[in-house]
A = this chain, B = another copy of it.
Amino acid sequence: MARRARAIRERQAATGVPASPHIRRALPFFDPLDPEQIEKIEEQVNWLIEDVGIAFRDDAHALRIWREAGARVEGDVVRAPADWIRAECAKAPSEFTQLARNPARSVTIGGANQVFAPIYGAPFVRDLEGGRRYGNMADFEKLVKLTYMHPALHHGGLVITEPTDVPVSKRHLDMLFAHMTLSDKPHLGAITERSRAQDSVDMAEIVFGREVMDANCVIMGNVNTNSPLLVDKVVTEAVYTYCGRGQGIVVVPFILSGAMGPVSTAASVAQAMAEALMVCAFAQIIRPGAPFVLGNFLSSMSLKSGAPTFGMPEPVMSNYAIGQLARRAGLPLRCGGSLTASKIEDAQAAYESADAMHSTMLAGANFVLHAAGWMEGGLCTGFEKLIMDADRLGSYQKILDQGLDCSDEAMARDAYGEVAPGGHFLGCGHTMRNYQTAFYEAQLSDSENVESWEEGGSLDMRARAHRRWQAMLESYEAPAMDAALREELEAFVARRKEALPDAWY
């Protein structure tokens, strides 16, 4: 580990950016559950799978597949021996690589790897100058560029905001084109309709070519189950389209504890596990070995209003619990993010995001959607918030990548030959050799004294973030792309747009 930490430090010093396109964790995981707690939750998962069952709705084909595979199907409720479901799940890889257009940005998901991606699905955007408004394609493109440029974001996600000025029926085409051309980081595909998922897979095939795609994961879909205990057609069709083509899928039960699950963290975690494992088994029946990410999104509730709350003890605890359970299941995990209910980029937003994200990182979440930019319970993407969160992600990346360096150089024994009791280490040899890479340099934290800070205009973090993302966009340069490839993508988008009617649902 010491040698690795040193190599990372040297590359960071040389390039100013993380050496890796994702995190390869040196820090151990935090496993807080004792064997009794694990047994209790896993028994409950088994009970939900075997006795209670999960409904697969509005998809007769899915029920047929389950029946033929040997499950017990009554109405649309599927029950099956938990051992068999777990055996199917074991066919999914415990880690896999999603290729990026730029091979240096390919990410490995699972195991000790952690990948951060921005917020997904917010219809609104907010920035300090423009205020809160519906997101549009111009906002979307800016957000793709910022995500591309930020070293602590490893993956583009997909719907960084909803470009609401584009018809829903065509929106996925413009979003995918933006990710594929303005960035060379990996990203997700659409899932809202089967044809849109298919378009995503087809466009990925244009970028990567059939042979590469046959042998690799190059795109993934991210879908929610319809908790409690319900899997709808959006999920099964995404499985057919993505996993059927050997591509990946992220399946996320979204549970507001007390509404879509019991008002208990342990029970809601068990329910989420049961739902996700059933879809994982289904995906493995469709295509053994298909990359699968077990998702978990648990939120707590305000008793005053029934509104979801974030960064609270219950979802923090669920992050820690699901991390340990997912590792036992041998499946890559998606959970957490920089989550908050705050409407603006204030202290509430930051406290809640940090507690949500600190637990997410320590829990070992392998794929973290919503790692930056999330505001207002997910309804709004903040331009400043994106950059502020990402600055903190860089801090988490250092903690995870390096752990505690205990190499001989780190122990600094020679320094004590130079420094007397009560003296200082500022100029000693060890300090001179190491100070440039010793500390994480946060871009948006101000550590000046109050006088300097006031002279600089008394800017709060939000104001500094506003300046920073604008400066970043000014220096944006698109990653290189083969002209013929770009034309082929353009032609595909144009052809599909012609074939599709404008529709706003």
Contacts and interface: CB of A to CB of B under 8 A. Distances in A.
Contact of A354 (B358, B413, B428): B358
Interface in A410-445: 410-413, 415-416, 419, 421-426, 428, 430-431, 434-436, 438-442, 444-445
- Identical copies of this chain, number: 2
A439 to B, nearest CB: 5
Nearest to A398: B313
Interface string A348-363: 1111111100110010
Contact of A355 (B57, B77, B358): B358
Interface string A319-347: 01100000000000000000001111111
Contacts of A276: none
Contact of A358 (B229, B358, B388): B358
Contacts of A93: none
Contacts of A396: 313
A37 interface: yes
A262 interface: yes
Contact of A347 (B228, B261, B461): B461
Interface string A11-43: 000000000000000011011111011001100
Contact of A262 (B425, B448, B454): B425
A453 interface: yes
Among A52, A57, A425, A448, max chain B CB count under 10 A is at A425
Contact of A450 (B132, B308, B421): B132
Contact residue range for chain A?
35 or more
Interface stretch (A165-173, A237-245, A252-260, A497-505): A252-260
A475 interface: no
A441 B314 CA distance: 11
A138 interface: no
Contacts of A380: 450
A214 interface: no
A446 B343 contact: yes
A312 interface: yes
A37 B52 CA distance: 47
Contact of A55 (B405, B411, B422, B428): B422
B37 A406 contact: yes
Given A317-B399, A351-B388, A260 B406 contact: no
Contacts of A355: 354, 358, 392, 395
Nearest to A460: B346
Contacts of A377: 447
Interface in A396-412: 396, 398-399, 402-406, 409-412
Contact of A228 (B48, B302, B421): B421
Nearest to A352: B445
Among A261, A395, A444, max chain B CB count under 10 A is at A395
A285 interface: no
Given A266-B410, A403-B32, A461-B347, A446 B376 contact: no
A449 B359 CA distance: 25
B442 A312 contact: yes
Given A259-B426, A263-B412, A266-B404, 7 more contacts: A28-B32, A228-B419, A258-B425, A258-B439, A262-B431, A264-B411, A317-B402
Interface of A: 27-28, 30-34, 36-37, 40-41, 44, 47-48, 52-55, 57, 76-77, 132, 226, 228-230, 257-267, 270, 300-305, 307-309, 311-314, 316-317, 320-321, 341-355, 358-359, 362, 376-377, 379-380, 388, 392, 395-396, 398-399, 402-406, 409-413, 415-416, 419, 421-426, 428, 430-431, 434-436, 438-442, 444-450, 452-454, 458, 460-462
Question: Would you list the 4 A-B pairs with minimal beta carbon distance, nearest first?
Answer: A354-B354, A350-B350, A262-B412, A55-B421
